[in-house]
Homo-oligomer: A and B are copies of this chain.
Amino acid sequence: MPRTHRPSVTIGDVAAAAQVSRSTVSRAFTRPQLLSPETVDQVRAVAARLGYVGNQAARALSTGRFGNIAVVVPDIANPFFPPLVRSMQLAAETADLAVFLGDSDESAEREAKLIARLAPQVEGFVLASPRLAEDLIRELAATRPVVLVNRDLDGIPRVLIDSSGGMTEALMLLKKLGHQRLVYLAGPRDSWSDQQRREVLTSAAAGLTVDVIEVGRPSYAAGRDSVSAIVRSGATAAIAFDDVVSQGVLAGLELRGISVPSDFSLVGCDDTLAALTTPALTSVSAGAATAGTAAAKLLAQLLDSPDPSAECVTISTHLVIRATTAGPPRRQNPRG
């Protein structure tokens, strides 16, 4: 039955070359304990020589395991995610897991579609900053292992980057420097990170006045355009939802001749761009890479033994002080 011809080396080829049965080859990889060490070595050597790579689809058909996971992010072009995805992929590789990437374009609907499309070939999901409704996530998680990143759903394994440490430090620093009034440039409302940051800032303000300015989808332009509102607020410092927004603010400030940090202080979040720019930004570190590794490991472990006890790993943050923070200007308002 001649069909689509795929010239790849199969388990049969290896078996023939090694003069053993197919089963033996199979066992050499999946359950070497059942074979004599010499056989294992020999078979593996032959396999390596031939460049044999197990056909995952066939394996999956037989075992129900695909050896694939999917990571879906709202926007891979957002500098927060690449390190996350990267470390996840590297960690997945050591568990011999291949990874699908889904970019939902910040849309819950597209996220759902992606998940549905990927689900039949995937053993588990890593959902990074998912925009999906809680019940849909729970529904998915009932089906197969799901690890959340930066979304706090009780009972579902998750890794959370806890901004509160860094945020509090930022608050303290600003206070110590003498600022009294600041603004938070808030991110998307359905982002857990934003909710957390917002809460820390408004509840633990430590005697400072902090106004919230909504910038919507975090972008450079959004940051730049928020400057007039910042100036209007009379604040002498700002904390931005992320470094991209922060850069935008920096640009907007320069445009108005307000210089940082002498006239105005600025703190970003995530430390994605912060170290790479001039001036270097003060920022709350995020450890996205750490989170990625943790998520992959958590998922791999879940696949091995579907542990019902949902783990939650928390990654703490701290403030990295660079060049954009200083005391408030002498005059009451920076060029009002």
Contacts and interface: CB of A to CB of B under 8 A. Distances in A.
A64 B56 CA distance: 11
Nearest to A121: B56
Given A82-B77, A101-B101, A103-B90, A53 B254 contact: no
A3 B116 CA distance: 22
A119 interface: yes
A100 interface: yes
Interface of A: 3-8, 51, 53-58, 60-66, 68, 75-77, 79, 81-83, 85-86, 89-90, 93, 96, 98-103, 105, 114, 116-121, 143, 220, 244, 247-248, 250-251, 254, 273, 275-280
Contacts of A119: 8, 53
A123 to B, nearest CB: 10
A201 to B, nearest CB: 24
Contacts of A273: 273, 276-277
Contact of A121 (B4, B57, B75): B57
A85 to B, nearest CB: 6
A119 B55 CA distance: 9
B85 A244 contact: no
Given A3-B64, A79-B82, A251-B278, 16 more contacts: A3-B63, A7-B143, A53-B119, A55-B61, A55-B120, A57-B57, A57-B66, A61-B61, A76-B82, A76-B89, A77-B86, A81-B82, A89-B102, A90-B105, A220-B275, A273-B277
